[in-house]
Amino acid sequence: MRESLVLIQIDEQSSVKKNEVGYVCVGDERLKAEVLRIRGRTADMQVFEDTSGVRVGDRVEMTDEMLSATLGPGLLGRVFDGLQNPLHDLAKEHGFFLPRGVSAPPLDTQRTWEFTPAVAVSARVSPGGVLGTVPEGPFTHKILVPFGEKEPVTVTWIGEGKLTLNDPVARIESGGVEREITMVQRWPVRRTIPDSLLRRRYAERLYAQEPLTTGTRIIDTFFPIANGGTGCIPGPFGAGKTVLQSTIARYAAVDVVVVVACGERAGEVVETITMYPETQDPRTGGTLMDRTIIICNTSSMPVAAREASIYMGVTLAEYYRQMGLNVLLIADSTSRWAQAMRETSGRMEEIPGEEAFPAYLDSSIKSVYERAGTIRCPDDSQGSLTMIGTVSPAGGNFEEPVTQSTLGTVKTFLGLSYDRAYKRFYPAIDPLISWSRYLDQLGPWLSKNLDPNWTRDVKRLRTLLERGDAINQMMQVTGEEGITLEDYITWQKSVLVDMAYLQQDAFDDVDAFMPRERQLESLKLLQSLVDRDYDFETRDEAREFFTRVIGLYKNWNYSPPDSVDYQKYKTEIEAATRPLHGTSS
């Protein structure tokens, strides 16, 4: 597919704004476009469609509107493209190969919703405040006062009962002007929703104090992500990024999941679209799709729409956060998004930065991740937006610009290793290169709710892994006989931590998710094994002991907590922690 930037001429009376949407008219087709740059009487626009057939002199219709998202009930369970066109609806009407210039309403305007008012007539409600609610899937969807209001509004009439999205639910008065509002509002995707509320003190940004529970041991224990925090998952092809992000999306303790597929191969996206409706949601009992929104712009779709898809996904996620819900946004992958920016920047003949990426790559990445966070909403509820982006550096080179800019922005780095994936060490998160700045920040919560020594014990285990790796590298040169027996036991302890705790089976019904309580139980038992002094006489004796314990640990991880095997394997592991040959620490 070919895409290009269209340079349009603006007459003297026209008033065009940056990021304004317009339509290039080619016969009966109207191709959606967005203003990127204004220079005198000309403007550069990126077109979200194939531009074949566009000629000098074609008419361009401006809308006086920014590229915006439609916000309202009915977003959950839907699959959109980067411009919020519902792909299933378009496929039903036009088939699998979509003609250019077609679009459809993002929400079903014929569906009725049971509206329950939350305020009375004469009530004063601030921007972003709650007017009423409707049920949406497993949640209560709050109908909010439009975010763009400059001051609190007065409710002069409030509706009730079964209403469609186009029916008025209330009449509000502001500045002496009365108008009707519906359940739907629109918001520019490149503008942060809370910003206007924060500036006028109708909302408050909060300091992240609680961790996001993912059920993945290596993340929750060693490299936690705060609820409302940021993280990235860079890794080479085949390292397991897709499986890891799907596991996080399924089991993370959040209310809503937004998946932005911005440039990945179509096969992976099709797998996501078909798997989510068939996967049971462990939190609600329904399907995972019931609380998920998918923004789909694969590598074969227009570059411009791929670039817009990130902003569309973040805006939808912010909308649900403003209702006091915990939202997780997964972007797969931000490398493809950055490549779309590079192509657009090149066509605009901007001065390139490193590896031809735009000079503003770093600020663009920061501006997206900064939209994550925890917010106190106008109704005093708290909502959070946690953002995790996957990065696909060519050849697994973490020194390339996109990865480096992302590392300078996020606070959790989950680096995937090809070597660990090759050895079938999944998840292939390398504990020696990964890090989390949230470990100390979340220390008070971890100490209060899990264990007073949690942070200290985790750091000690991390040190053990580093020491074990150094000994292993020495053994690659000298062999086992070239190190002391004490160092050999230290290495075996590090292998125990790696294989028994850090590795996890995403396809096992039990091991795929481990609650924090069980993680604490497992970690304490592991700590007792690691802290022991052993008086093995030979390396073979040490190897046999740790191999047996690793096998017991793996079987324990696979055992449901209410099963006979669970207690059996735990008892056998506890027996291994008792003094050996009369010596213990």
Any known ligand binding at 242?
A: yes
Residues 6+ apart with CB under 8 A from 118: 130, 131, 132, 133, 142
CB 293 within 8 A of CB 259: yes
The rounded distance, in Å, linking the Cα atoms of 542 and 581 is 13
Continuous H helices in 202-348: 217, 241-251, 266-275, 303-321, 334-347
Would the annotation count 240 as a binding residue?
A: yes
Distance, in Å, from the CA atom of 395 to the CA atom of 19, rounded to the nearest integer, reads 35
CA-wise closest residue to 327 among 139, 74, 84, 108: 139
Contact 329, 59 (CB under 8 A): no
Residue 427 marked ligand-binding: no
Return the SS3 of 301.
Answer: coil
Q: How many CA atoms lie within 13 A of 506 on its CB side?
A: 20
Q: Distance between CA atoms of 252 and 254, rounded to whole angstroms?
A: 6
**Residue 197: its H or E element:** helix 193-199
228 is in an annotated binding site: no
- Selection from 275, 273, 281, 277 nearest residue 256 by Cα: 281
How many CB atoms are closer than 10 A to CB 13? 5
Give Cα separations from 321 to 117, 196, 523, 536 (angstroms): 20, 15, 33, 56
d(C-alpha 99, C-alpha 90), whole Å: 10
507 is in an annotated binding site: no
- Annotated binding residue at 142? no
Tokens of 444: 């008070």
Residues 6+ apart with CB under 8 A from 71: 184, 185, 186, 187, 315, 316, 319
User: Do 172 and 143 meet the contact criterion of CB atoms below 8 Å apart?
Assistant: no
Q: Is 208 annotated as a binding residue?
A: no
Please give the Cα distance from 576 to 492 (Å, whole number): 15
Supply φ then ψ for residue 350, to 5 degrees.
-80, 155
- Range list of H helices, 435-584: 438-441, 443-449, 454-478, 485-497, 516-530, 539-557, 564-576
Rounded to whole angstroms, the Cα distance separating 99 from 12 reads: 34
Nearest partner of 449 among 516, 526, 361, judged by Cα: 516
Nearest CA to 550 among 425, 447, 458?
425
267 touches 296 (CB < 8 A): no
Which residues does 219 contact at the CB level (< 8 Å), separation at least 6? 225, 248, 414, 429
Residue 236, annotated as binding a ligand: yes
Binding-site positions for ATP read 235-242
Binding-site positions read 235-242
